[in-house]
Amino acid sequence: MKRSHTLFALLIALFISACSTPSQRIQENSPQFNSYTAAEKRLIRLGQIAVGFDEDQVRMSLGKPSHIKSDTDSNGTRYIWEYDELEPDYNIFNSIGISSRGGGVGAGIGVSGTPTRSKLRKRIVFERSNQRVSDFQSYD
């Protein structure tokens, strides 16, 4: 029984740490954050990015990406960071039952949901030559 409580507490801690905010990430990296321009600081505080941001700035603004992909060709390798968001998958069901012998009538409605589907929210492309953001899309 204790083992399941420990596992549950560990899972909750991992979930909470994965949901850090720009403010928390700024606080954890304040010397680095203080070296940025005023415009960069403003965007990071708002959880936004701009073309020209490096990987550290993107991570500070948006957090750890859900996926990192690479695309290699004769010009080199570019990296694509993707940020997904889990979406609930809801099911609604109902049932009605009538019994002629027992004289009973019954009805029920049920709803269930699980966060099993992920939806792409942001895609950031880093330039091959300098590993800075060259393009990004939001799918909100």
CA dist 23 → 49, 87, 88, 117, 132 (Å): 15, 24, 27, 28, 22
Structural domains of the chain, count: 1
Spatial separation of the C-alpha atoms in residues 104 and 51, rounded to whole Å: 67
Rg over alpha carbons for the chain, rounded to the nearest Å, is: 23
Specify the pLDDT at position 14. Answer: 46
In the chain, the N- to C-terminal Cα span, in Å, equals 42
Specify the pLDDT at position 70. Answer: 94
Give the single-character DSSP code of 46.
T
Q: Tell me the residue range of the domain where 96 lies.
A: 2-138
| Overall pTM > 0.85 | no
122, 121, 134: which is closest to 53 by C-alpha? 134
Per-residue confidence of the chain (140 residues) as pLDDT tens digits? 555 555 554 445 444 445 689 999 999 999 999 999 999 999 999 999 999 999 999 999 999 999 999 999 888 889 999 999 877 666 666 666 666 666 676 666 766 666 667 889 999 999 988 999 999 999 97
Q: What are the DSSP calls for 50-101, one per residue? A: -TT-BHHHHHHHH-S-SEEEEEEETTEEEEEEEEEEEEEEEEEEEEEEE-TT
DSSP lists the bridge partners of residue 133 as 126
The CB density around residue 128, as the number of other CB atoms within 10 Å, is: 15
Specify the pLDDT at position 19. Answer: 64
Specify the pLDDT at position 117. Answer: 75
- Strand 133-138 relative to strand 105-126: parallel, antiparallel, unpaired? antiparallel
Specify the pLDDT at position 69. Answer: 96
Spatial separation of the C-alpha atoms in residues 135 and 96, rounded to whole Å: 54
